[in-house]
Amino acid sequence: MSSNPQPDRSSSGPLSSTASRIALGVFLAIALFFLWSEHRAHLYGALPYVLLLACPLMHFFHHRGHGQGHHHGGAGSQARQRPEGDRS
């Protein structure tokens, strides 16, 4: 009987070698480049709509944070009224 010891492959997976990791990194870099270059036109085409949508959202959230629109009478509303003698 001859017993040939099997090499322990539990710690060495398909990505354990440096060459495999470099090849995977190069492949991912190329894939990301082509995804960006092909879909960039779609992103730039949607940019005006994103800006138009951002305007009302910013208006809503900025005024909500200041507490405006919730005061009914008080020092803030009196300061905005015109003096009685001013008819301009």
Question: Does residue 9 have a pLDDT over 60?
Answer: no
Q: Is residue 29 part of a domain?
A: no
Domain that holds residue 56: 39-66
Sign of the dihedral defined by the CA atoms of residues 51, 57, 59, 61, in that order: negative
Question: Does residue 46 have a pLDDT over 70?
Answer: yes
Q: Report the domain count for the chain.
A: 1
Question: Does residue 72 have a pLDDT over 60?
Answer: no
Q: In this predicted model, which residue has the larger pLDDT, 39 or 2?
A: 39
Q: Is residue 57 part of a domain?
A: yes
Global pTM reads 0.36
**Mean pLDDT on 47-51:** 88
Q: Is residue 4 part of a domain?
A: no
**Mean pLDDT on 28-37:** 93
